[in-house]
Chain A
């Protein structure tokens, strides 16, 4: 256990850095040519929002599975490598949802018509199986849509899109600035950790490990606070007057509205299937 806990900070930081590197890679995909990349970012975000709503309201496993297939098609049409997309979407949240859904298959959590009897009064019920399939495909399709938006839209553009949707300026400005700080902070934490490691070696116990994490967080706040004045001076030197200015250069065309129309049609179709499909 000591050996395992001794490298936990390193694992945290490595994980965080690789997570952030993936998100930088996401900007590379957003710059490639593809179906979603070619759509106006406002209409692209609105369309994916409509599809998310369609998935949220859906009550049919068939509709949800079809919506997931649509996600795979959109990914392929948007220059996203299928294996990369599957890895990015199946890990973590859907995998966790899969394990959460397993107990709900059985009659002691979901009573109903027995489908497969396992003996000793334990069975998988029809209601449990259908409920678990709907739950899992809904989570998977929702995550896939969120990842599609994030992969095909440059993060700086996505932040500008939020402003267009009348999100209060204080949120958009904070979002834009904090996004840049996250990278800086991870780097700061990594440097602090390297400094600790070079002076005292690996953290050897749980208690010392907990203290090292707390020290790291406190040190991060100290450094961040000191940054505040320098950043404000930099903002002033770039012409900041108390209002953040955002440039809009988006142009929507017929193909963009066609995409939005298709997503609305999918939403309406989803509502219709709720009455006829299960």
Chain B
């Protein structure tokens, strides 16, 4: 789901930066307002945690592997605004410090993974878990469903960004300049792999981690719930 440099044209890249600027401003204001000085390291821990989750390859039947984004998990543990900053930082570290590319696409990547996935996942989890106790099985299922749905919503948003490139940027003789595939190819391709494969990895990782945390230290989930709203 990470969009590298060169896949999106200047219009999409610019618009996504413009959309994310107010989101980052509000996130930084919200976190500054609610963050207690003692919790400053927690935000950095959340960002590093998100980065490391993306490095874990999960085995898939048929002998291949895939990885989770972990955005919904971080949102459940830290709250959506703090998760927005944490996932943004993880994506910037990947793009800038490790030279993975995606500098011009940081706005688009953050829109998909640090905004859409974080907020959709957090509110789906909140809706499905309702007022159930911290250690209830319902929360595990809610976390899994939230992970699955939020990743697919983010993947759809990514597919739309890819698919509109031939509409936005094409030469007079029909030559594509950026991602060469239109919506009719980008959406089924992205939706297929995320509905059938990566969505399940996200659901599995999010649900199982919540389950293990419930067993090991349920107070931590409660603390996370109160931490950085």
Contact = CB atoms under 8 A, between A and B. Distances in A.
Interface of A: 1, 4-5, 8-9, 11-12, 15-16, 19, 23, 26, 49, 52-53, 55-57, 59, 88, 92-93, 97, 101, 104, 109-112, 126-128, 130-132, 134-135, 138-143, 146-151, 155, 158, 168, 170-171, 173-179, 181-182, 184-186, 189, 206, 209-211, 213-222, 224-225, 227-229, 231-232, 235, 242, 278
B123 interface: no
Nearest to B215: A218
B40 A235 contact: yes
Nearest to B224: A225
Contact of B96 (A135, A150, A214): A150
Contacts of B205: 213-214, 217
Given A111-B174, A112-B173, A211-B208, 12 more contacts: A26-B99, A56-B6, A93-B4, A97-B6, A97-B7, A127-B176, A142-B5, A173-B40, A173-B44, A181-B48, A185-B52, A186-B52
Contacts of B161: none
A55 B13 CA distance: 13
A216 B209 CA distance: 9
Nearest to B174: A127
B204 A181 contact: no
Contacts of A151: 99
Interface residues of B, number: 79
B154 interface: no
Contacts of B52: 16, 182, 185-186, 189, 220
Interface string B9-50: 110010000000000110010011000011111111101110
A217 B6 CA distance: 33
21 contacts: A1-B63, A5-B63, A26-B99, A55-B6, A104-B176, A127-B176, A131-B180, A135-B177, A143-B5, A147-B101, A149-B96, A170-B28, A170-B31, A176-B44, A181-B48, A186-B55, A209-B59, A222-B216, A227-B41, A228-B42, A232-B38
Contacts, number: 258
